[in-house]
Amino acid sequence: MQPDGFHEVEETVRGVLRDVLGISAERAAAFDEATPLFGALPELDSMAVAGVLTEVEDRLGIIIEDDEVDGDMLETFGALVRFAASKALT
Amino acid sequence: MLRFGPATGPVVVVALPLFEEANRTRAFAVTILRALAGRGIAGALPDLPGQGESLVPTHETTITKMREGFEGAVNHLARPAFALGIRSGALLDTLALVQGRWHLSPMSGADLLRELVRTRQASARESGETFDPSTLGTDPAAPPVELAGNLVSHQLLSELSGVSPMTGVARTVRIETEAKPADAKLPGSPLWRRAEPDNDETFAQVVADDIAQWIATCAG
């Protein structure tokens, strides 16, 4: 059972990926829990990761510490959303 | 320096962001200046020390040099001038004698430093190297550091944590998705985040309208 606001966090993360990576709205709308991100999306290289994290921070009003960033939370759309939600909704 | 619009009257002088974001926003800035020229307002886009065709290599530039370069460009134009600062470009108009400053999504030097470090850490993670950000800017004699594809001097890094955009006679505009406060929020895309240089013609027109209206109220 997802907490209130989860869907909003998900849509915010979707919007960040769309805006930062320059992905079309249709393509971003198709992202789901299992969609692979880092290593699979050519647009998401190491420079883009920094931009994605900063935009997620700015839009959700959270701080992401350097040591919290690992391959796991960037592996899929679902993992990134769950990470963002865990910081934004507690 | 690129010049647009009429030879007389006020001129809008652009300060592009530092480093890679300058490449990502240059076409956008030119579109804004062309739109302003279409509204009868002149524009100029200088290459500041370390930017574009400047003879100063990136690793030798500092915030102070860039600010002096911007001031010099405004003086050279010798007419009433307004600064247009985009992202970290908003840090560079502090010395210039301008009638007003219009800032798009301004950020502090500390914000920029954080993003540079974050980018380096992301690439360090990818290549398996270790990177310790605590030494940045502490030793002015140390060789320049590679951050986000640019060689950056420790002088510039030590300046960054202490600089912020000026707030006097400044209009701050952000895009609608930004949470930070602003005088106005406009619909537009964060071109400075893209992997490749891009443009947003619609947004450029909206920006030009806002600037033209602001100049009319400033000068009036």
How is chain B classified by DSSP, letter by letter? -EEES-SSS-EEEEEPPSTHHHHHHHHHHHHHHHHHHHTT-EEEE---TTSTT-SS-GGG--HHHHHHHHHHHHHHH-S-EEEEEEGGGGGS-SSS--SEEEEES---HHHHHHHHHHHHHHHHHHHT----GGGTTT-TTSPPEEETTEEE-HHHHHHHTT-----TTEEEEEETT--S--SEEE----GGGSSS----HHHHHHHHHHHHHHHHHHH-
Q: Given B162, B180, B203, which residue is the final one in a domain?
A: B162
Between CA B74 and CA A31 the distance in angstroms is 48
- Determine the 3-state secondary structure of A71 from DSSP: coil
Q: Is the pLDDT of residue B119 over 90?
A: no
Number of domains in chain B: 2
Same domain as B98, residue B193: yes
Across the beta sheet with B100-104, the strand order is B2-4, B42-45, B11-15, B81-86, B100-104, B170-175, B184-186
Chain B within 8 Å of A66 (Cβ-Cβ)?
A: yes
Same domain as B200, residue B145: no
Q: Contacts from B143-146 at CB under 8 Å and sequence distance 24+?
A: B144/B59, B146/B120
Structure confidence at residue B84 (pLDDT): 98
Q: Is the pLDDT of residue B3 over 50?
A: yes
Flag if A50 and B196 touch (Cβ within 8 Å). Answer: no
Q: What is the share, in percent, of chain B residues with pLDDT greater than 90?
A: 65
- Which range is least confidently modeled, A49-53, A75-79, B172-176, B185-189? A49-53
Q: Which residues are within 8 A (CB) of B80 and not within 5 positions of it... i.e. 6 or more apart? A: B9, B10, B11, B99, B219
Min CA distance, A42 vs chain B (Å)?
A: 10
Same domain as B82, residue B36: yes
* CATH number of the domain where residue B31 is located: 3.40.50.1820
Flag if B20 and A54 touch (Cβ within 8 Å). Answer: no
Domain region containing B148: 109-162
Same domain as B177, residue B89: yes
Q: Which residue of B has its CA nearest to A48?
A: B195
Same domain as B190, residue B93: yes
Structure confidence at residue A78 (pLDDT): 96
Q: Is the pLDDT of residue B169 over 70?
A: no
Q: Which residue of B has its CA nearest to A50?
A: B119
Domain residue extents for chain A: 6-88
Between CA B171 and CA B46 the distance in angstroms is 21
Flag if A58 and B180 touch (Cβ within 8 Å). Answer: yes
Flag if B195 and A50 touch (Cβ within 8 Å). Answer: no
Min CA distance, B14 vs chain A (Å)?
A: 23
Q: Is the pLDDT of residue A1 over 90?
A: no
Q: Is the pLDDT of residue B220 over 50?
A: no
Same domain as B84, residue B46: yes
Q: Given B144, B162, B180, which residue is the final one in a domain?
A: B162
Structure confidence at residue A2 (pLDDT): 65
Same domain as B30, residue B94: yes
Q: Which residue of A has its CA nearest to B117?
A: A50
Flag if A50 and B122 touch (Cβ within 8 Å). Answer: yes
CATH 1.10.1200.10 fits A6-88, yes or no: yes
ipTM: 0.79
Same domain as B7, residue B26: yes
Could you tell me the pTM of the whole model? 0.90
Chain B within 8 Å of A1 (Cβ-Cβ)?
A: no
pLDDT tens sequence across A61-80: 899 988 888 888 999 999 99
Query: By C-alpha distance, which of B156, B113, B111, B159 is closest to B134?
Result: B113
Q: Which residues are within 8 A (CB) of B151 and not within 5 positions of it... i.e. 6 or more apart? A: B57, B58, B59, B144, B145
Instruction: With beta carbons less than 8 A apart as the criterion, state whether B43 and B4 touch.
Output: yes
Flag if A51 and B189 touch (Cβ within 8 Å). Answer: no
What residues form DSSP beta bridges with B186?
A: B175
Flag if A20 and B193 touch (Cβ within 8 Å). Answer: yes
Same domain as B135, residue B96: no
A:B CB pairs within 8 Å: 61
pLDDT tens sequence across B51-85: 888 989 888 999 999 999 999 999 999 999 999 99
Which residues of chain A lie closer than 8 angstroms to B20, CB-CB? Answer: 47
Query: By C-alpha distance, which of B106, B88, B213, B189 is closest to B148?
Result: B88
Same domain as B195, residue B150: no
What residues form DSSP beta bridges with B14?
A: B84
Average pLDDT, chain B: 91
Flag if A46 and B195 touch (Cβ within 8 Å). Answer: no
What residues form DSSP beta bridges with B74?
A: none
pLDDT tens sequence across B14-52: 999 999 899 999 999 999 999 999 999 999 999 999 888
Same domain as B176, residue B124: no
Q: Give the mutation candidate from B116, B125, B132, B198 for the A interface (greatest A CB count, under 10 A).
A: B125
| Cβ neighbour number for residue B195 with a 10 Å cutoff | 17
What residues form DSSP beta bridges with B84?
A: B14, B102
Q: Could you give the count of Cα atoms lying within 13 Å of B51 in the half-sphere of its Cβ?
A: 29
Q: Which residue of B has its CA nearest to A38?
A: B126
Same domain as B77, residue B114: no
Q: Given B162, B183, B207, which residue is the final one in a domain?
A: B162
What one-character DSSP code corresponds to residue A76? Answer: B
